[in-house]
Chains A and B, each alone.
Chain A
Amino acid sequence: DAKTTQPPSMDCAEGRAANLPCNHSTISGNEYVYWYRQIHSQGPQYIIHGLKNNETNEMASLIITEDRKSSTLILPHATLRDTAVYYCIVRVVGEYGNKLVFGAGTILRVKS
Chain B
Amino acid sequence: GAVVSQHPSWVICKSGTSVKIECRSLDFQATTMFWYRQFPKQSLMLMATSNEGSKATYEQGVEKDKFLINHASLTLSTLTVTSAHPEDSSFYICSGEQTYEQYFGPGTRLTVT
Report yes or no: A46 in contact with B106, Cβ–Cβ below 8 A.
no
Count chain B residues whose beta carbon lies closer than 8 angstroms to a beta carbon of A: 26
Whether a CB of chain B sits under 8 angstroms from the CB of A29 is no
Known contacts A41-B91, A94-B49, A96-B32; A46 and B43 CB within 8 A of each other: no
Q: Which of B62-70, B80-88, B95-103 contacts A (4 or more CB under 8 A)?
A: B95-103
Closest residue of chain A to B31 (Cβ to Cβ) is A97
- By secondary structure, the B interface counts as strand
Whether a CB of chain B sits under 8 angstroms from the CB of A49 is yes
Report yes or no: B103 in contact with A46, Cβ–Cβ below 8 A.
yes
User: CA of A104 to CA of B6 in the docked complex: distance in angstroms?
Assistant: 24
Total A-B pairs in contact (CB under 8 Å)? 61
Report yes or no: B43 in contact with A44, Cβ–Cβ below 8 A.
no
| Chain B contacts to A: CB under 8 angstroms | 1, 4, 6, 32, 34, 36, 43-46, 49, 51, 57, 91, 93, 95, 97, 100-107, 109
Closest residue of chain B to A97 (Cβ to Cβ) is B32
Report yes or no: B51 in contact with A96, Cβ–Cβ below 8 A.
yes
Known contacts A98-B97, A100-B102; A43 and B107 CB within 8 A of each other: yes
Report yes or no: A96 in contact with B93, Cβ–Cβ below 8 A.
no
Which residues on the A side are within 8 Å of B100 (C-beta)? Answer: 32, 91, 98
Report yes or no: B44 in contact with A102, Cβ–Cβ below 8 A.
yes
Which residues on the A side are within 8 Å of B6 (C-beta)? Answer: 43
Closest residue of chain B to A104 (Cβ to Cβ) is B43
Name B45's contact: one of A36, A38, A45, A102 (CB within 8 Å): A102
Task: Given A46-B104, A105-B43, output 19 extra A-B contacts at Cβ < 8 Å.
Answer: A36-B104, A41-B107, A42-B106, A43-B4, A43-B93, A44-B104, A46-B1, A96-B49, A96-B51, A96-B57, A97-B32, A97-B97, A98-B32, A98-B102, A100-B34, A100-B95, A102-B36, A102-B43, A102-B46
